[in-house]
Amino acid sequence: MANEVATVNKFEIVTGYENMDAELLEELQDEMEDLDEVKGISCKKIKIPSGGGIAFEVETDDPDNPDSEKELEAVVIFTHRINSYWAESFGGSDNKAPDCSSFDSKKGVVFETGEIRDCDTCPMNEYGKDGTGKPCKNMRRMYLILSGKPGVYLLSIPPTSLKEVNNQLARLMGGSKIPYSRMVLKFKLTKDKNKNGIAYSKVGIERVGLIPEEYFKTTVAMRKELKEKYKEVVITSDDYTTAPTEPVVDKDGFVDVEAAGDIPKELPFN
């Protein structure tokens, strides 16, 4: 069949406890029960460099020594839009929390007052008349699992790659009729420049294949848990990669890419 997608048998979803001695594992689990329950989602960060770098920074158990990866093969378990507004420029404050943020790009919450704002009508979510970008940063969070690595990783797609990543994922799902949580995707960075010659990193994705069928139930269960708890992962300045001051944008304010074609509006990431 022309649309048949091969299984990537080398992709492994692991817990990190597979090769542990059974007695030691039992002892570890018993002592873990002595501690208070850890709430929310624990995930490591994958950062996109500023200035046009083409290697991802993948957090490790040693936060001072991230891995540098030019390509990532991963499965997207869950993805959603976020908006974040910082009143002060980066580096102007020790507070990483945004002054206003939204977990769905529809309703924002002001940090100090708890005021609810409509993102569609908020002046901070408008482009400058001189063509500059929005004060509010529109991004997309992607929760990933990497082959052979336990746990969940968080990659935040910056404004300059937002539309392109959405369209690429929509094409892959719409064309194959396969959920993204069953696909193995390759993430790569390419160097691009805006109209003023300022370099930035652009995210691209392509499908490598499918995860083995034995993992389908695992990804469904992980997705369910993430959808229940994703709002507990606080938005900070770590989500935002410093972008060019004046990116090339289309009429909707996104980096101009080729039209995505017929994309079903009911897909969960639109």
Which domain, by its residues, includes 184? 22-33+41-79+141-234
* Among the listed residues 10, 51, 15, 39, the one whose alpha carbon sits nearest the alpha carbon of residue 191: 51
Confirm whether 196 is domain-assigned. Answer: yes
- 259: exposed, middle or buried (C-beta count within 10 Å: 0-12, 13-18, 19+)? exposed
Confirm whether 50 is domain-assigned. Answer: yes
pLDDT tens digits, 68-80: 999 999 999 999 9
Q: Which residue has the higher pLDDT, 270 or 127?
A: 127
Confirm whether 110 is domain-assigned. Answer: no
Confirm whether 258 is domain-assigned. Answer: no
Confidence of residue 270 (pLDDT cuts 50, 70, 90): very low
Confirm whether 201 is domain-assigned. Answer: yes
* Among the listed residues 187, 188, 177, 185, the one whose alpha carbon sits nearest the alpha carbon of residue 211: 185
Confirm whether 146 is domain-assigned. Answer: yes
* pTM (2 d.p.): 0.84
Residue type for position 106: K
d(C-alpha 41, C-alpha 162), whole Å? 23
Residue 205 β-bridge partners: 187
Domain count along the chain: 1
The backbone region for 114, taken as left when phi is positive above 0, alpha when psi lies in -120 to 50, beta otherwise, is: left
Confirm whether 94 is domain-assigned. Answer: no
d(C-alpha 157, C-alpha 65), whole Å? 22
